[in-house]
Amino acid sequence: MRKHAVLITVLFALTVTLFSVSAVFWEFYKLNKNQYIEHIFTKHEIITQIYREHLQKKTSQIMLEANLAVYKFVIEKDKHEQKAILKKAKTLKQKNLQRVDEAVMLNKKGIFTQKIVRDVRISMLELNKTIYFYIEGPIGSVLIEDEGLKPFTYYSIAYSYLTIILIISISFVLILQRLKPLIRLRRKIALFGNGDMNISFKTSGSDEIALVSNELEYTREKINTLLEARTLFLRNIMHELKTPIAKGTIATQMLGTQKERDRFSSIFGRLESLVEDFALIEEVTSISDKSNFNEYRLVDIIDGAIDMAMVDRKCVTVDVDAGVKLRANYRLYTTAIKNMIDNGIKYSTDSHVKIVMKNDELCFESRGECIAHPLQYYIEPFTKDNPAKNSFGLGLYLVDSILKVHDRVLAHEYENGVNRFIFA
């Protein structure tokens, strides 16, 4: 998810924006509809007045229909149709009114006028895009159709809503289009980080992403230049060192005593070993392409490492399934295992190392005291516990560097008097 944080943020903003706009337009639609209904309901109070006059003056049905027709109101006379409309229609608004009638009464005291309050309920109904007004009184009811009135429509609001949604969507599409170069740039940076030193970041354009890409291209060229200069320097140094070391080794044989010959042979041998370690370091750090990695059986690599270490095979116990394979640079992986064998034999109490597979991880076990420092201390170059040992302190540093090239790490644990180094 972190890899697509910007894209997710943009999509989240789009979702929130669309939801907010939709919510606002929905509330606006409901408000407009309610205002429309209220306006129509108020405007059509004339129906109530006509019906009141009809009841008070007790005019004929024909007179009532004539008065309603002036305003394009029609009474629904069919009782079955009226029942069907009342059953199916949607009630838009309803209001209770009171009608006051005056009646002439006679009692012992004489003639007097009495006011009678009657309840009247008027309902505004909608069915099949037709508006009806239903009036219920104490002595009857009437259903009136408004032929000149149309129900509330949402087309103008829907048009505005769709227009705004379209504008927002187009805007976000344009934003995503502008983010495409950033996605391509991220992929190129990942390839560069994985060792593709010839990837090009150069791009045309003048926006911020193009400026960053071109700056990365300039940085890439500088890094490549520095790496090439470093590689050339190391190779020249090693080439120049090999010649005097070879001459010194030959000259050593001309010394007078065996003790002097052995001492100088040891010195030149260590120098030659140091040059070889430097060559390995240069090879490991300069690997940018893993296409030359091949699949090998692990037992074959271990056999090659034992031969390279030139130790008695009785000093090494191998408990690895012959079917286990891995993809690796044979020379480098063999060197890493060889260094672990050398360390195991050199620092163990019984000059023995056991190579086993545990949980799909290659382990090197040897008896002895636990290492005095954390593992990180030993994988730094030129560090070692015992300066008197015949070593430059590059063994575990080389192992760690080789494992990193193979997407692995070096780990250590101590259990029951056994140091266990793990290719995890």
Rounded to whole angstroms, the Cα distance separating 362 from 297 reads 13
Of 358 and 49, more confident: 358
Domain stop point among 101, 117, 146:
146
Indicate whether 258 and 324 sit together in one domain. Answer: no
Residue pLDDT, tens place only, 268-322: 666 766 667 666 666 666 665 666 788 889 889 898 888 888 888 888 888 888 8
Q: Domain span at residue 229?
A: 209-285
* Statement to judge: residues 269 and 313 lie in one domain: no
| CA–CA gap between residue 99 and residue 204 (Å, rounded) | 83
For the cut 80, the answer to whether the pLDDT of residue 259 exceeds it is no
Q: Does residue 88 have a pLDDT over 80?
A: yes
Question: Are residues 161 and 53 located together in one domain of the fold?
Answer: no
- More confidently predicted of 233 and 107: 233
- Counting residues of the chain whose pLDDT is more than 70, the rounded percentage is 77
Q: Taking Cα atoms as reference points, which of 308, 301, 360 lies closest to residue 328? A: 301
**Span of 15-24, 57-66, 102-111, 397-406 with lowest mean pLDDT:** 102-111
Strands 140-146 and 316-319: unpaired
345: which 2 tokens? 């034999």
Which residues sit opposite 133 in a β-bridge? 124, 144
Is 67 domain-assigned?
yes
269 and 364 assigned to the same domain: no
Alpha carbons 410 and 412: distance in angstroms, whole number: 7
Domain co-membership, 54 together with 79: yes
Looking at the fold, whether 385 and 326 belong to one and the same domain comes out as yes
User: Which residue's structure tokens are 């190129």?
Assistant: 188
CATH number at residue 391: 3.30.565.10
Q: How much is the pLDDT for 363?
A: 92
Provide the domain count of the chain.
4
> DSSP secondary structure string, 263-292?
HHHHHHHHHHHHHHHHHHHHHHHT----TT
Inside any domain, residue 203: no
Same domain, 134 and 67: yes
Q: Please, where are the H alpha helices in 44-118?
A: 45-57, 61-69, 79-88
Residue with the bigger pLDDT between 41 and 334: it is 334
State yes or no: pLDDT of 112 exceeds 50. no
Determine, yes or no, domain membership for 202.
no
Determine the pLDDT at residue 33: 77
**CA 91 to the chain's CA centroid:** 49
Give percent of the chain above pLDDT 90: 1
> With bands split at pLDDT 50, 70 and 90, how would you rate the model's confidence at 170?
confident
Per the model's pLDDT, the better-predicted residue between 351 and 285 turns out to be 351
In a domain, 229, yes or no: yes
Residue 174 lies in a domain: yes
Last residue of a domain, one of 138, 167, 183: 183
Q: How confident is the prediction for the chain on average, in pLDDT?
A: 77
For the residues 363-383, what does the mean pLDDT come to? 81
Least confident of 65-79, 134-148, 265-279, 353-367: 265-279
8 Å CB contact between 344 and 353: yes
Better-scored residue on pLDDT, 41 or 326:
326
423 vs 197, more confident: 423
pLDDT at 101: 54
Q: Taking 50 as the threshold, does the pLDDT of residue 388 lie above it?
A: no
346 and 390 in a single domain? The answer is: yes
Q: Report d(CA 406, CA 337) in Å as an integer.
A: 13
Point out the least confidently predicted range of 89-98, 274-283, 345-354.
274-283
Instruction: Answer yes or no: do 9 and 87 share one domain.
Output: no
pLDDT higher than threshold 70 for residue 393:
no
pLDDT at residue 102 in the model: 54
Domain finish residue from 258, 285, 312: 285
* Higher-confidence position of 23 and 141: 23
The verdict on residue 191 lying in a domain is no
Residue type, 78: D
336, part of any domain: yes
Give the best-scoring range by mean pLDDT among 153-157, 206-210, 322-326. Answer: 322-326
Say yes or no: 28 and 163 in one domain. Answer: yes
Question: What average pLDDT does range 385-391 have in this prediction?
Answer: 51
- Mean pLDDT, residues 129-157 taken together: 76
What's the confidence (pLDDT) of residue 150?
Answer: 66
CA–CA gap between residue 152 and residue 35 (Å, rounded): 10
> 393 and 373 share a domain?
yes
Output the six-digit token pair for 34.
């309610």
Q: Quick one: 248 and 360 in the same domain?
A: no
Any domain includes 360: yes
